[in-house]
Amino acid sequence: MSSPVVHAHGAPQGFIRRYIFSLDHKVIGIQYYFLALFSVFLGMSLSVLMRFHMVYPDAKVSLFEKLWPTGAAGGIMTPELYLSLMTMHGTIMVFFVLTTAPQSGFGNYFLPIQIGAEDMAFPVLNMLSFWTTLLALVVMVSAFFVQGGAPLSGWTAYPPLSAVGPLSGPGEGMGQTLWVISIAIFCGASLMGAINFIATTIDLRARGMSMMRLPLTVWSWFVTAILGLLGFAVLLAAGVLLLLDRMAGTSFFLPAGLVVNDQILNHKGGSPLLWQHLFWFFGHPEVYIAILPGMGLASQLLATFSRKPIFGYRAMVYAILGIGFLGFFVWGHHMFMSGMNPYSAMAFSILTMSIGVPSAIKTFNWIGTLWGGRIRFTTAMLFALGFVSLFVSGGISGIFLGQPALDLYFHDTYFVVGHFHMIMGVAAIFGMFGGTFYWFPKMFGRMMNETLGKIHFYLTFLGVYAIFTPMHFLGIAGNPRRYADFTNFEFMNNLMPVHKFMTHAAIFTAVVQLIFVFNLFWSMRKGAKAPVNPWDSTTLEWTVSSPPPFDNFAGKHPVVNHGAYEYSVPGAAKDYIMQSDPA
């Protein structure tokens, strides 16, 4: 028989083919990562501006005037400008950070390697999906610079406000149109990405990599891709309808007799509720698109750094599938306030509560994994523990909001803001931090600084709890959300010190993130050289050099003989068995 089958592929040599229009899933993953990094700082800056305005509404800031000559004439932010910042903060964070970094960034880089493939199934499609995402971001950000500025209608873009055009406020003209177009482009990009993730996971696994040997990260990317596939297709359809209402005079979402700014609009018969149904049919699975990759990563990190197999691997897989499946039947719980048949509300409520079961399975299994482990408190592990903490804290308030009777009270208050920021925002972002510290050595061939990492973790952990815990109390006290300024309401006077505290905590937390950025870029150049497997991990990416060769396995075909989390196996020579170790 001939020599081993080796068909290593040479990497493309030109700079443009190699780093710009690259077909390599690893480069594309890094491109997505940096796109999300840019977006998260943009989104965070907007939130700091909003928090500042909320507690110092009368402060004259010349920077505001420079940035928004009409929206902040005289240096004082108008309520409309505040709403546009809120809209852009939400949109950028949800789409270009939470959807992009954990799934498209880490997923692109590590899914093929973890399943033993050379690349994604469709590399050209992969490249296209990144560049379309970038285009969507450019279109979205450009909304700041057009006449009227960015849109006001929130990341959920509820009609009629989002559908009636410039009549309803600055930003509702060109800005809102660009918003819809950007989201439509983003849907296209996400669909391309989902096709790649699903086909790659199903068809390109290495020999021996059965579904029940997949790392839980791969399982979560796979299920997330299915959610994205089904959800973004519906959002795209909704976006097309909204665009037609805005530009072609149709009446899908606009009812008859609508009077805006003293003008009767020439629409009739449409239903704003129709948009809400279509939007949330996407919107709720979107929450899981943001959090599932973090769950997979938390599982990976907790097992690795506890030196124990993940507790209940199969249960974890079924829980991921259960969360993904149930996620498509609960969209109505976002609409209890919109007017809903009480029987429908009850059905949506019961289904919503039932998601607590797989979520609890995951949480208990994470704790079970930690139990009796020899825990290594690396920065990545700290962020994974932080993820679990935030997931529990944010999840418990979800039980309150899932009940129509309570939601009617809480819905338009800061309780909701606190809830979704904890579970969907910072929990997911802790997942990204954990992933960064864990995979950075593989991606860039150098270690990140652990001391800086730990300082960053503890300060951020304190910071996010300081920002978002008080929001729940404010909500219970009846503090409405989406308001630009609370100083005119007498009942709010006693709550303003809490707002001030949160604003200071937000500024503090934002500044602390500079430690991370410094660590990231400093470590890329000056970090200690990373060995092949710095964490004594078991999955396939830790069998190849750091960073991996162009075709991932240098022409070899990995063979998988073990499950993903064989730590501390009795009788084994080391305290871990790599997936590709001989049987």
Partner 1 sequence: MAGSTTADIIGGRGAPPAPRDFGGGDGDSGGRGASRRASITGLLVLLAASVMFFAAFTSAFFVRRGMSNDWVDTPLPHILWVNTGVLVASSLALELARRALRAGRRAAFNRFWTGATILGALFLCGQYLAWRQLNDAGIYLATNPSSSFFFLLTCVHAVHLVGGISALGYIDVQALLLRLGPSKRTAVDVSAYFWHFLDAIWIYLMVLFFFWG
Which range of residues in 267-275, 312-320, 434-442, 528-536 is near partner 1 by CB under 8 A? 267-275
Segment 226-265, which members bind partner 1 (CB under 8 A)?
229-230, 232-234, 236-238, 240-241, 244, 248-252, 256
Q: Is 465 in the site for partner 1 (CB under 8 A)?
A: no
Residue 475 and residue 407 in contact, taking contact as beta carbons nearer than 8 Å: no
Q: Is 279 in the site for partner 1 (CB under 8 A)?
A: no
Task: State the amino acid at position 191 in one-letter form.
Answer: L
Query: Which residue's CB is nearer to partner 1, number 2 or number 341?
Result: 2
- Please tell me the distance from the alpha carbon of residue 196 to that of residue 32, in angstroms, as a whole number: 15
Query: Which residue's CB is nearer to partner 1, number 79 or number 208?
Result: 208
Helix (H) or strand (E) holding 263: strand 263-264
Which range of residues in 116-124, 299-307, 388-396, 567-575 is near partner 1 by CB under 8 A? 116-124
Tokens found for residue 81: 């400008």
- Please tell me the distance from the alpha carbon of residue 386 to that of residue 542, in angstroms, as a whole number: 24
Q: Is 121 in the site for partner 1 (CB under 8 A)?
A: yes
Shortest distance, CB of residue 499 to partner 1, whole angstroms? Answer: 40
Angstrom CA distances, 106 to 65, 77, 234, stand at 39, 38, 25
| Count, residues near partner 1 per rule CB under 8 A | 66
Q: Is 129 in the site for partner 1 (CB under 8 A)?
A: no
Smallest CA-to-CA distance from 336 within 251, 449, 416 is with 416
- Please tell me the distance from the alpha carbon of residue 323 to that of residue 357, in angstroms, as a whole number: 9
Shortest distance, CB of residue 251 to partner 1, whole angstroms? Answer: 7
Per-residue binder mask for partner 1 (CB under 8 A), 145-184, x = binder: ----------------------------------------
Shortest distance, CB of residue 145 to partner 1, whole angstroms? Answer: 30
Angstrom CA distances, 328 to 167, 225, 314, 382, stand at 35, 14, 22, 32
- Please tell me the distance from the alpha carbon of residue 58 to that of residue 61, in angstroms, as a whole number: 9
Using the rule CB under 8 A, which residue among 213, 334, 442, 472 binds partner 1? 213
Q: Is 196 in the site for partner 1 (CB under 8 A)?
A: yes
Task: State the amino acid at position 474 in one-letter form.
Answer: L
Residue 111 and residue 201 in contact, taking contact as beta carbons nearer than 8 Å: yes
Using the rule CB under 8 A, which residue among 143, 181, 189, 198 binds partner 1? 198
Tokens found for residue 582: 């001989």
Q: Is 497 in the site for partner 1 (CB under 8 A)?
A: no
- Please tell me the distance from the alpha carbon of residue 426 to that of residue 424, in angstroms, as a whole number: 6
Q: Is 116 in the site for partner 1 (CB under 8 A)?
A: yes
Smallest CA-to-CA distance from 33 within 394, 444, 333 is with 444
Query: Which chain residues interact with partner 1 by CB under 8 A?
Result: 1-5, 7, 9, 23, 115-119, 121-123, 125, 191, 194-196, 198-200, 202-213, 229-230, 232-234, 236-238, 240-241, 244, 248-252, 256, 268-271, 274, 277-278, 281, 551, 556-557, 559-560
